[in-house]
Amino acid sequence: MTDRFLELQKAFIEKGLTLGAAESFTAGRFADRVCSIPGASDYFKGGVVSYAASVKEDVLAVDHDAIETLGVVSEAVAVAMAQNARGVLDVDVAVSFTGNAGPTAEEGKAQVGETFMAIAYRDEKVITYHVIFRGERNEIRTLAVEYICDKLIEILNS
């Protein structure tokens, strides 16, 4: 796992870009992995752990109606989290994670392992990913973090 995060760091530093995160079900796991590599402060500015819907609304300005209508585990919420985190954190790129790591279905809408992740890259269109991971709670969280790391590397190297 360390190699891919080292590759991520190298790509961000080479491009002179900054990174931030808006995390829900990953609860800071992405920020932790990024910052476990010495030199992370050269590109990673910070993150918001918005586990509760109220934090998504109050800190990340996610629309209350979207949360009520679609649920916190939705593409619209992931997009808003990533877009708004770019501004809140003043970064070039922001990632977001919202999902259900289990052990039970959430709000009757999101099955265990269902995730929505987004990457807001500068002023370009937000890229979203809807993935259903299999495994235990912490495995799902780790898989999501690794998945978005790989997607960031692909985007930066393209």
Written as six digits, the tokens of 119 are 């990457």
Task: Tell whether the model's pLDDT for residue 106 goes beyond 80.
Answer: no
Q: What is the pLDDT of residue 138?
A: 97
Query: Phi, psi (5° rounding) for residue 92?
Result: -75, -35
* Cα distance between residue 86 and residue 83, in whole Å: 5
pLDDT tens for residues 22-63? 999 999 999 999 999 999 999 999 999 999 999 999 999 999
Could you tell me the pTM of the whole model?
Answer: 0.95
Q: Which residue has the tokens 């790391």?
A: 149
> Domains along the chain?
2-157 (3.90.950.20)
pLDDT tens for residues 62-75? 999 999 999 999 99
